[in-house]
Amino acid sequence: MSYPLEGLKVLDFSRVLAGPFAGRMLCDLGADVVKIEPPDGDLTRFWGREIANIPGYFHQQNAGKRNICIDLQAEGALDLANQLVASTDILIENYRPDVMPRLGLGYDKLKEINPRLIMLSITGFGHKGPESHRAAFAPIIHAEAGLLHRNAKRTQLPYHDLPTSIADTNASLHGLVGLLSAVIMREKTGLGQHIDIAMIDATVATDDQLQYNLEDAEDTGPLPNSIWETGFGPVLISNDFRLLFRNLTSILGMPDPSNSDMDLPEKIRVRREAAVAFIKTFDSRDKFEAAMNQINAAWGEVRDPATMADQTTIAARGAIIEVDDRAGGTRPITQSPYRFSDAESGVRGLVAHRGEHNHEVLSEWLGISQADTDKMLAAGVMHFDPDWKHH
């Protein structure tokens, strides 16, 4: 077994991001992840550049998973879903709390079918509580968890959402920790369990800045990092300006333009102006890096994400790779971040068309024949992408 999770079976009923990302990581770690997609498809099949009828966002979150398409409201679909549940280790879903029970797939019923089942449910506001009914995508949680307010206050800019779905991926990764913890616990007890992850809980738990707000202590934290223009582009220097200025003058030889007759605001103003002009004189990355090493300051280029594959460490570690695009070429995808000394992880296969593995999965997991799969297709229990010919 070269992959840590080889042998684990996962049913991924989730869509968009919080659930699919957890499923993608499980797949990268070796689990057999089967995405259960509804006939109208995952919403992310409409997002991103489309190649071979597979858009980029869906491609990013579902690489390596097999795919079967079930209409859970069709007659006979619940029986098929229950058979799959009886054969799986893990089930992931991120619907509102009432949806899976309404479909007959609530945890209380599923654990009777499979007492070893570990079920992960990711919702915006949790399964128990006054707001459990609320729908939520990441921006809703960014707003409710205070991230947008803090960002606006610190930047002095109008309220605006974050440029990444941190509430989704945070909840996904906390869900992944919960799943793997439950797998370890099942080895001791023989029983599975239901894991209730609320996106708002996960965001608050992972917000290292929240303690300043809860204790009205914003003024006790470090000064904010500054972004500076150099001769080769913008950089962020992670250094209190007071320390940075002292090092620029005492080690790198920058003149101090202030004098004892200036009041503090004037002194700060002229020192910042001098630092801006001095840092602009660095016309190459190598010269700037040597200077920052000399004063022991951490820094980073303000990089255009379109160039991320060229970032030195990203390129060296293969954090973005090229995979078969199913159209005779390749397309980029982020690689698994896990690096083991004695195990493998990483993207393990192509991205599936909707219903591409209907027969393959039912045959392997349940011993169902091609003829019986075809009957379910004819009855509308199962579907496949009509643009994909080999269902």
Query: For the chain, what's the residue count?
Result: 391
Burial of 156 (0-12, 13-18, 19+ CB in 10 A): exposed
Quick one: which of 40, 104, 107 has its CA closest to 71? Answer: 40
The predicted-structure confidence for 331-382, as pLDDT tens digits, reads as follows: 999 999 999 999 999 999 899 999 999 999 999 999 999 999 999 999 999 9
3-state SS assignment for residue 252: coil
Residue percentage of the chain with pLDDT more than 90? 93
Whether the model pTM is above 0.85: yes
What span, in angstroms and rounded, lies between the C-alpha atoms of 59 and 101? 29
Is a pLDDT exceeding 70 seen at residue 24?
yes
> For residue 389, what pLDDT band results from cuts at 50, 70 and 90?
low
Q: Where are the beta strands (DSSP E) in the chain?
A: 9-12, 32-37, 50-51, 54-55, 66-70, 90-93, 118-123, 193-198, 226-230, 233-238, 298-301, 320-324, 330-334, 382-383
Tokens coding 373: 């799969």
Is a pLDDT exceeding 70 seen at residue 240?
yes
The predicted-structure confidence for 271-298, as pLDDT tens digits, reads as follows: 999 999 999 999 999 999 999 999 999 9
Q: Indicate the pairing of strand 50-51 with strand 118-123.
A: unpaired
The predicted-structure confidence for 118-138, as pLDDT tens digits, reads as follows: 999 999 999 988 999 999 999
Q: Which residues contact 152 (CB under 8 A, 6 or more apart)?
A: 158, 159, 160
Enzyme catalytic residues: 168
Domains parsed from the chain with CATH numbers: 9-209+344-383 (3.40.50.10540), 222-307 (3.30.1540)
Q: Say what the pLDDT of residue 390 is.
A: 44
Got the DSSP string for 92-155? EE-S-TTHHHHTT--HHHHHHH-TT-EEEEEESS-SSSTTTT----HHHHHHHTTHHHHHHHHH
Q: Indicate the pairing of strand 226-230 with strand 233-238.
A: antiparallel
Q: Where are the beta strands (DSSP E) in 239-373?
A: 298-301, 320-324, 330-334
